[in-house]
Amino acid sequence: MRAPVLLICPIQPTSWKGDSANFAITEFSEVRALVLCSRAHTLASHRSMLRSLRDQLRTREGAGPLPALLLDLGPPPDQLPAARLERLAGSSAREGVWVMATKLTDTNQASTTMESKGSSRMTMSRVTMVLALLTIVGIVDFLLNVAALHFLRFDVNPVLEPISNYAVGPYGFLFIAADIGLGLAALALTFGLYLSIAPPGRSYVGLFLLALFGVSALLAGIFPIDVGGEATTFGTIHNIVGNISFFGFPIAVILLSLGMGKDKRWRSFRRPALALSLVVALTVILTIVGSNLGMGYGVTQRIANVAALVWMFAVALHLRSVAQGALAQQPSRVR
């Protein structure tokens, strides 16, 4: 915004008077200075004229109206042209659609993630159930084959001789099938417990020893024991893996039973499993004592094997129950 500027130029410098018409006064948009012609500074009367004019000027005196462009702020929103209102409405609608699309995308992503997790849990539960069934089948296979050998092989003394002697002689394939079944059952139970028990309740040492028991059982069936005085490579391997499984299994079941209490789905089964594991440990100790004393080694070994099978069977049943419960809850979580 500019204020008026007085441009004073004398026409006849010698005839100036305060109210003379010989001076042309012109308005400009802003008072920046009093501009005089070069000859206006030559006389003292001219300098007194400048002081007189300076005293008579006031702020915005004689100024014209402000430019309309600076005062035009536009009409209020309710008086905007229809075309502009339509453009604003369209812009707002597009922004609303974008926000809704973003929210729907986030919702779909969250739903997809939940469905993926639910599908993964369902698959894991089904795999766990299959592993539990394999464990049960392997245990039944071992019991049936060994029981049949007691009726088919009367040359083996069940009181004094270990059950591994059934692998040498007639129907030895039944004992090989029994050991393979036991080994696969132990391995299936190992993976089933790994999938079913929450990480805080997993005993990785116990799982490792249980898996080692399964591998040892498989190798014990493949490499038969030495019967008689002659030692063979197969017999040596059988003795090594047999001792590993025999001493490692009690430690495995105790550690696994203790860890079950840290998982809410296994907490109720902790005490029964721990009680059975202590029975397994006691029967193993009894077998060692009987072997050193030469008294009833065959009987104590069979008792220890039965105790181990009972623990595995009970755990496999609970594993199957946990998997079934997880599958029953899936429809309510997954659409």
Q: How many C-beta neighbours within 10 Å does residue 309 have? A: 19
The pLDDT of residue 254 is 96
Tokens read off for 70: 């600076």
10 and 37 Cβ atoms separated by less than 8 Å: yes
Measured between alpha carbons, how far is 226 from 223 in angstroms, rounded to an integer?
9
pLDDT tens, 117-140?
556 777 888 899 999 999 999 999
Phi/psi of residue 205, nearest 5 degrees: -65, -45
Task: Give CA–CA dist 82/63, Å, rounded.
Answer: 38
Nearest to 53 by CA among 4, 2, 6, 3: 6
Maximum separation of any 2 CA atoms in the chain, in Å? 160
- How confident is the prediction for the chain on average, in pLDDT? 75
Q: How far apart are CA 218 and CA 181, in angstroms?
A: 8
The residue type found at 214 is G
CA–CA separation, 235 vs 121, rounded Å? 45
Inter-residue contact 259 to 202 (CB < 8 Å) = yes
Phi, psi of 241 (to 5 degrees): -70, -30
Adjacent-strand bridge partners of 8: 36
DSSP 203-257: -HHHHHHHHHHHHHHHHHHHSPPP-SS---HHHHHHHHHHHHHHHHHHHHHHHHH
pLDDT at 31: 38
User: pLDDT tens track of the chain, all 335 residues?
Assistant: 444 444 444 444 444 444 444 444 443 334 333 344 444 444 555 555 545 555 554 544 455 554 544 444 555 555 555 555 556 555 555 555 555 555 555 555 555 555 555 567 778 888 999 999 999 999 999 999 999 999 999 999 988 888 999 988 899 999 999 999 999 999 999 999 999 999 998 999 999 999 999 999 999 988 988 887 678 888 899 989 988 888 999 999 999 999 998 988 999 999 999 999 999 999 999 988 887 777 788 899 999 999 999 999 999 999 999 988 877 776 544 43
List the structure tokens of 189: 């139970």
Amino acid letter for position 6 = L
Question: Of 203, 199, 198, 237, which is closest to residue 220 (Cα–Cα)?
Answer: 237
Nearest-angstrom CA–CA distance, 55 and 50:
9
Q: How far apart are CA 197 and CA 82, in angstroms?
A: 68
Kindly report the number of other CB atoms within 10 A of residue 127's CB atom.
Answer: 15
Q: What is the pLDDT of residue 293?
A: 78
Q: Identify the pLDDT of residue 120.
A: 73
Alpha helices in the chain (DSSP H): 44-56, 68-71, 82-152, 172-196, 204-222, 233-259, 270-293, 297-333
What is the Cα–Cα distance from 204 to 59, expressed in whole angstroms? 93
**Distant-in-sequence contacts of 284-290, Cβ < 8 A, 24+ apart:** 284/246, 284/247, 284/249, 284/250, 287/246
